Structure 1
């Protein structure tokens, strides 16, 4: 390990440069990167509308349709289509017992409209009056033996979010009975109210992604129009955590470490993954000698996480621990690499056949160990790469490694990767290929859940699609590693440079915040033989990609 001496003047901050680097709308039109000049996909899509942007075109003169407003409009179109995609599962029919959801003949699978939000409202910790998540248990199958009692199975922010939506639904129903509001089946109302807030959350993701993209604001169009947002925006509640995680990165980019930590901590109280972003942030702070700022972000995250978790933990410890107990006791989910290996090889798994409720101890240890190895490799890359990687590059690698090595990859988890991938490797053809493949896995998943007895797909077909998805994610990771080792091929770094009309100096990481422009302080030695092999591999991959394009 080598330690580099301090450079004079490195403690000075340049908020003007930083704010411009993370806000596409604040840049002059000439400072923005035109995607029709740099992306073959954008150039091809522009042909029906007159072709790529002309070099003498008047850009930035439209007072209303700024890039942000255009992107939000595109996101609204995608989210409206996403709601329509789930709408078949909201249709009802009348019975002697009252109005029921029309899920007859496994419609939720054949129409591919299934959403966890709909059956969640029927759970005992939401629907009845006077209940509160984590306090009130419910029985999954009343009258069965043995009786299994359950509590809210989500982290605190997501659980309370569901409960508040249930209370809003109750209030709407009461006002509808008085004739003040239109009436609808209560489960449908709950879904629509929840979808409204999730729509707002994804719009926040688009806004934050555009701000983080700096001189490439139009890359956020891939977030706004993502096929994964179309399929999974309303499959579960993950848009909420994605919004907190992305705004946390934006707060860090704008040099507000406490706020960044608070947002990431709240995101970690909604889903676990936002807490993973603290790892790359702290490692890069170590390399840049910015541990004080990284420590502030860590303290803010810990304070925010404790502020929302501690009251529930102290008041209802059993209910609070349900999420952690369930995740510990879960076996390999259908969409995990471990299940695919077991299916194609006939392997019984690390723990063999498990009794109901038995914890897969070996599987948990292996999954954790593999993720720890990935963390070590990413940390070494962060500290030993010839040029300090960008923050979002490492965040993408770490979250992708977590999903690939985890025993669970629920379909909506792919939303976590969308803003990170767009910011880490803004190559439109790569990104659209991955998003299309990942979104397409939803179809074989639904028909696998339908069951072969109902003319569904065999498990092998579904797992084959899962493996293709995993291979595409691995390919994206390889591209990111290649650009870390050869930053000259990084599209974001190519776009960075002097912003002439303002006289600002270049930035090396528009989302880096305090890391941007800081000299390296701690760098691990790079073994020569390893460096030679990686450089040769990177050059070969680059040459193949150039020939393919």
Structure 2
């Protein structure tokens, strides 16, 4: 149904009218919503509750996808062991960092405390190295608490009070439960932020990336904080938004990047006081989370482990730098880096490229004829980080999902990107399996990596196009300025860089094709 202009200025956007994907999918259920249908009267099934239900379905599929790696077998004499025989994590494509980290981070030991407990990798070898918990504070403590819960469950199970399983299996299940709740918070916050487009949250609830990566690592903790921070900002609570961004940065670094777009938009709107409140709260919360470990000599080396490890990492297989090195034979910026040293030039180039892209995004934010929406700039900044970073772990793509839907809610395009991104997992697992075990050569995996990166570049280009052509922006189609604007709503521009004037045709509503 192309005549979408009949929607009133306060009516909920109806996907079967505006999204070809939803329109075609509605065929078996009677087709698009009728013009005289009564909307919003059901006593229970609101779009938010439908989105949460669909998210539960996707999360259940995600858990079953990883469950093959949490199976047990009898190793003899009634002793149970984790069944990772015959390269099961790669052949079943069920690999999850959560399971090996239980023992790798020494969480299986009763006297372990993150950032204080240390151990040696390659003990007795030339590559011997002292190791600590390698995750930021909140994620590290999250793992430790879940390990204690799993061990407590195992003790009760031994007494016959609860069903029994290996502690590592219990640890995975308990972690998955909390990570699922964090993703539900992400969906909840995104649906409330979207306002007149609540069905967008239902769309991302079934994202293929969630099915594949919700339990690959601990990233839904950060997505929940970031989405809740955007909700708080949209409700004109900058201090609360900063608090949530600080918590998110203490779990994963990326929520801190959202302060950049807010800085540019507050500068353009003359609302710097709100930004300082947000940035101050984020800094205070991050310091409060980290100070207890940094201030004590027994935990300071462990606290620094996250930064040291990230500094010393080379170009991961899924980075553009590795793609270029593999396909061209180029040895990289630093060549062969000695053990224990950081790839100086790679770190410098990666950081410089990211800062240059951020400068370009800042220029767009100040130069566009109409102030860009918050989600548009946030998506561009996070995408710029992933594209220029030396590491793009597969679960990092979850960072983009809620931002992409808020920035450019074009369902067909986003579904295509999320499907391609999720499919990278299959050649990745086949590559890690090894050609000697009938896996795939690295080139197959890198080909999918290039396809994913190109898709993200296309999304960025389209977001920039819509920033400079506001009439093509689906969110602004019915006169809504920016659902995430918060204190920026209805404010005149104060600081701009010679903006291009909006053409008269761009002020008109553009019907859906």
Tell me the TM-score normalised to structure 1 length: 0.88
> 1:258-273 residue pairs with structure 2 within 5 A?
258-273=239-254
SS of residue in 2 equivalent to 1:491: coil
1:491 equivalent among 474, 481, 485:
474
Task: Determine whether 1:249 maps to 2:230.
Answer: yes
Which residue number corresponds to residue 424 of structure 1? 407
Which residue number corresponds to residue 3 of structure 2? none
1:85 equivalent among 65, 68, 73:
65
Which residue number corresponds to residue 300 of structure 2? 317
Shift of 1:144: 4.4
Q: Unaligned stretches of 5+ in structure 1?
A: 1-27, 498-506
Between the aligned partners of 2:219 and 2:51, the Cα distance in structure 1 is 21
1:512 equivalent among 480, 485, 488:
485
> 1:429-508 residue pairs with structure 2 within 5 A?
429-495=412-478, 497=479, 507-508=480-481
Shift of 1:525: 1.9
Between the aligned partners of 2:124 and 2:97, the Cα distance in structure 1 is 24
Q: Over the residues paired in the alignment, what is the CA RMSD in angstroms?
A: 2.0
Shift of 1:314: 1.1
Which residue number corresponds to residue 302 of structure 1? 283
Shift of 1:146: 4.9
Which residue number corresponds to residue 154 of structure 1? 135
Task: Determine whether 1:171 maps to 2:131.
Answer: no
Aligned length: 499
1:42 equivalent among 15, 22, 28:
22
Shift of 1:57: 1.2
Which residue number corresponds to residue 4 of structure 1? none
Between the aligned partners of 1:29 and 1:478, the Cα distance in structure 2 is 29
CA deviations on 1:124-181 (whole Å, 9 max, x unpaired) are: 4311012110001022345545532210000001000000101111111111111111
Task: Determine whether 1:213 maps to 2:164.
Answer: no
> 1:299-448 residue pairs with structure 2 within 5 A?
299-315=280-296, 316-448=299-431
Task: Determine whether 1:65 maps to 2:45.
Answer: yes
CA deviations on 1:449-487 (whole Å, 9 max, x unpaired) are: 111111111111100100000000000001100000000
Between the aligned partners of 1:200 and 1:138, the Cα distance in structure 2 is 32
SS of residue in 2 equivalent to 1:492: coil
Answer whether contact 1:99 1:185 (CA < 8 A) is retained.
Answer: yes
Q: Unaligned stretches of 5+ in structure 2?
A: 1-7
SS of residue in 2 equivalent to 1:149: strand
Which residue number corresponds to residue 5 of structure 1? none
Between the aligned partners of 1:206 and 1:256, the Cα distance in structure 2 is 20
Answer whether contact 2:51 2:203 (CA < 8 A) is retained.
Answer: no
Between the aligned partners of 1:183 and 1:142, the Cα distance in structure 2 is 34
SS of residue in 1 equivalent to 2:371: coil
Answer whether contact 1:448 1:462 (CA < 8 A) is retained.
Answer: yes
Judged with a 3 Å threshold, the aligned counterparts in structure 2 of structure 1 residues 291 and 30 are, in CA distance, closer, same or farther, namely closer
CA deviations on 1:317-367 (whole Å, 9 max, x unpaired) are: 100000000000000000000000011111000011122222110011100
Answer whether contact 1:124 1:139 (CA < 8 A) is retained.
Answer: no
Shift of 1:114: 0.1
Shift of 1:96: 3.7
SS of residue in 1 equivalent to 2:104: coil
Answer whether contact 1:205 1:246 (CA < 8 A) is retained.
Answer: yes
Which residue number corresponds to residue 203 of structure 1? 184
Between the aligned partners of 2:135 and 2:75, the Cα distance in structure 1 is 33
Between the aligned partners of 1:324 and 1:400, the Cα distance in structure 2 is 21
